[in-house]
Chain A
Amino acid sequence: DIVMTQTPLSLSVTPGQPASISCKSSQSLLHSDGKTYLYWYLQKPGQSPQLLIYEVSSRFSGVPDRFSGSGSGTDFTLKISRVEAEDVGVYYCMQGIHLPPTFGQGTKLEIK
């Protein structure tokens, strides 16, 4: 299985400040079809996960533009330009290039 490693595992951010989460995969997520199958999810407290970013950098419907994704190959980053109180929860990266899909361990975002 492809191993997804996230850092940091937790971060505490002042509202209005930026935040960044790194995700590294044990194999390249670039498919022969030209797409890179890396996704970001947020699981807010007591809720189901929700899709934020698909294929590295595309925002899912309704996701605020303060969220952005970047990276290539095996190294990826999720950035929040200005953290808001509603952004608290656990962020997961996920690879979809090989079955079974695998998630990172999760990064818990708290508000200072």
Chain B
Amino acid sequence: EVQLVQSGAEVKKPGESLKISCKGSGYSFTSYWIGWVRQMPGKGLEWMGIIYPGDSDTRYSPSFQGQVTISADKSISTAYLQWSSLKASDTAMYYCARLEYPAPDYWGQGTLVTVSS
């Protein structure tokens, strides 16, 4: 059974750094792209970027280029999304998803990130 398990909810202050994770199981982690999707409170879905864990090839949506870093550790079948300096506007639910390229077929349960002073 394909599963993507994300790390738990986070509460951070503006300016802090954060790295959230997404662990894949039940499939060959290095053979599928992983994508990250943002959903701001009460809003729709926005693609942030994708990574191919097999060779760490990474593509960012223009809106998120330079704002976040996507990485993966194939030895532990885990992808990451990180911020170096959070803003209040980063408050959102973040989903990882496996891509049956180019579209997500299996999704993680989501990680809620709250940034507040």
Contact = CB atoms under 8 A, between A and B. Distances in A.
Contacts of B100: 54
Interface of A: 1, 37, 39, 41, 43, 48-51, 54, 60, 90, 92, 94, 96-97, 99-106
Given A54-B100, A54-B103, A103 B45 contact: yes
B102 A37 contact: yes
Interface string B74-117: 00000000000000000000010100111111111110000000
Given A99-B59, A100-B61, A100-B62, A49 B45 contact: yes
B32 interface: no
B44 A105 contact: yes
Given A48-B95, A49-B95, A96 B103 contact: yes
Nearest to A101: B47
A48 B102 contact: no
Contacts of A106: 44-45
Interface string B44-58: 111101000000000
B44 A92 contact: yes
